[in-house]
Amino acid sequence: MKQKKLFFLTMLTMLLLFTAFSFNDRFFKITRSMSIFASLYKEVNAFYVDETNPNKLMKSGIDAMLASLDPYTTYISEDRIEDFRTLNTGQYGGIGASTIQIEDKTYISMIFEGYPAHGSKLQIGDQVLAINHISITDKSRDDINKLLKGQNVTEVILTVKRYGFDAPMDFRIAREKITIENVPFYGLLKENVGYIKLNEFTYNASRNVKNAVNNLKKQGALSIILDLRGNPGGLLVEAVNISNIFLPKGSAIVSTKGKIEENNTAYRAMFDPLDTKIPLAILINSGSASASEIVAGVIQDYDRGFLVGQKSYGKGLVQTTRRLSYNAQLKITTAKYYVPSGRCIQMLDYAHRRPDGSVGSVPDSLITAFKTRNGRTVFDGGGIDPDIEIEEHHLPPVVQSLTTQGFIFQYATIFHHDHEKIAVPVQFHLSEEEYEMFLKWLNKEGFTFKTNAEEDLLNLKSYSQKEGNWKVIEHAYKQLQDKIQKQKKSDIYRYKEDIVRLLEKEIVSRYYLEHGAIEAGFDEDPFIQKTIDILSSSEKYARVLE
């Protein structure tokens, strides 16, 4: 007995000594590294051949260090705190308008209803020339946003050039607190299907979604679509509370597990649900991340509804903020989150980088199968898979070029100038004659674009010239070039459907702002149409969840 006690005490002592040694060894490494970095930083600033910017140099070092961990662990300097606060709260001091840059020119791209820019009669499509009489030529978008933002009640003067008017116009606008709408649209679609668009999980997102569901039910909604496409996430508590709208009080929603005990938390539905029975569908795509994936994963795990779309982004990491000196902050990854089935949907394995520093996905050998409440098989390690997959639609080069070069945007401005009013968003459609007018304008503006085949052909020419084979293939090359040019001329008609859809949406935004732009694409949206088809049939709905 004494020997057993002695053995136990010996092992315990060795364990404590090992732990103390490990802690002291780690502490020594941290102290030594900090000392080396401080002396190196001092020497570089003192003796480098050219003048250095101490703040910029330090930030570069911090950013590079954190980038070796993951993209979500970031340093937030004092001058960026306001931007960080906007991301979390959706609030900022400004005029209620966003901008876009096209060929080094800045245009008003959206005006938010009910805010100062809207009341000032500023228009989407106005080219911004100066802010507070400061020319914005050659200024970055960040610099322009800083000039537009400011304290509530303070005034900002925008000098703009408007299509159809020769002289610039000045707009004197008083800033106020702007709250970015996390639910920019909800409404009743055909077959009594309620639709809610959620852009971000900022403060009060759950309250806004709950209000939308309530109002839709009063309007006669018999089922609900929650659209999380392109939603990058946000506050975890909002994801928990949105899940709670459709799940019973006490339901396990999500758990977080990290290195430190305080980061291990289990979140449950804290409130009485709004509706645990109404048929539910969630729309997701590759842009649905983080909190979006929590809601989608929870609904899928409980078989409370079905998911439509494409595989989600795959971000299963939780970030918290830590205060630093001089009013700076650190946003740091502290845990991974797990949905009720037990799966973590993190796709990229930042802990095990390749020799070249790149990051790979979680290997197939480590992906585990889990079961939903009804026994359906789901997997971890690779985002959330939809129950009904919709093939991703890639815009062809001609359509991409029309968008990126600003031709769609600019023509919508011209159309708005020439037409005092249009039909409501769901009824507005360009006529054949109006589309032909658009094509004539494109031709006059000298629109050109390059196809992927054209790029590959140019590379072929370059390689063949380097290898001395150009004369052999020159004739065949020119024949292919002619065929590509003929094909390009027909692309403007071949992809008319895509072009018209984008053009109609942009035009509608000029008259009905963000609300109208969302509503304009419903009839041609394959995600929504497929979802309505399933929700309108109780048999189809039940089969998806079997």
**What distance in Å separates the CA atoms of residue 339 and residue 270, rounded to the nearest whole number?**
16
- Spell out, as residue ranges, where the chain has pLDDT lower than 70: 1-24
Q: Identify whether the C-beta of residue 387 lies closer than 8 Å to the C-beta of residue 300.
A: yes
Cα 202 to chain centroid distance, Å, stands at 13
Q: Which of 206, 243, 251, 290 is catalytic?
A: 290
Which pLDDT score, from 0 to 100, does residue 20 have?
52
Which pLDDT score, from 0 to 100, does residue 7 have?
46
Write out pLDDT tens, residues 109-147: 999 999 999 999 999 999 999 999 999 998 888 889 889
Which pLDDT score, from 0 to 100, does residue 485 have?
81
Nearest to 131 by CA among 123, 121, 141: 141
Question: Which DSSP letter does residue 361 get?
Answer: B
Cα 369 to chain centroid distance, Å, stands at 28
Which pLDDT score, from 0 to 100, does residue 518 have?
94
Which pLDDT score, from 0 to 100, does residue 445 have?
94
Beta carbons within 10 angstroms of residue 449's beta carbon? 18
For residue 135, give Cα distances in angstroms to 109, 142, 248, 259, 343: 19, 15, 56, 50, 52
Is 185-321+332-392 in CATH node 3.90.226.10?
yes
**What distance in Å separates the CA atoms of residue 528 and residue 388, rounded to the nearest whole number?**
12
For residue 247, give Cα distances in angstroms to 236, 400, 543: 16, 41, 21
Q: Beta strand pairing status for 329-338 and 369-371?
A: unpaired
Instruction: Write out the DSSP string of 45-103.
Output: HHH-SS---HHHHHHHHHHHHHHTT-TT-EEE-GGGHHHHHHHHH-EEEE-SEEEEEET
Nearest to 88 by CA among 98, 100, 80: 80
Which pLDDT score, from 0 to 100, does residue 3 have?
52
Q: In this structure, what token pair is assigned to residue 311?
A: 């595989």
Q: Report pTM.
A: 0.89
**What distance in Å separates the CA atoms of residue 230 and residue 283, rounded to the nearest whole number?**
10
Q: Give φ, ψ of 408 to 5 degrees.
A: -60, -50
Is 91-179 in CATH node 3.30.1360.40?
no
The structural domains of the chain, with segments of one domain joined by +, span: 91-179, 185-321+332-392, 397-527
Query: Half-sphere exposure of 307 toward its Cβ, with a 13 Å CA cutoff?
Result: 28
> Please, which residues bridge with residue 370 across strands?
378
Which pLDDT score, from 0 to 100, does residue 364 have?
82
**What distance in Å separates the CA atoms of residue 197 and residue 522, rounded to the nearest whole number?**
12
Q: Which of 70, 301, 380, 385 is catalytic?
A: 301
Catalytic site residue 536?
no
Catalytic site residue 39?
no
Catalytic site residue 290?
yes
**Radius of gyration, alpha carbons of the chain:** 28
What's the length of the chain? 546
The secondary element (H helix, E strand) that includes residue 375 is none
Q: Identify whether the C-beta of residue 198 lies closer than 8 Å to the C-beta of residue 228.
A: yes
197-233 burial, b at 16+ Cβ within 10 Å, e below that, comes to bbbbbbbbbbebbbebbeebeeeebebbbbbbbbbbb
Nearest to 537 by CA among 222, 246, 225, 216: 222
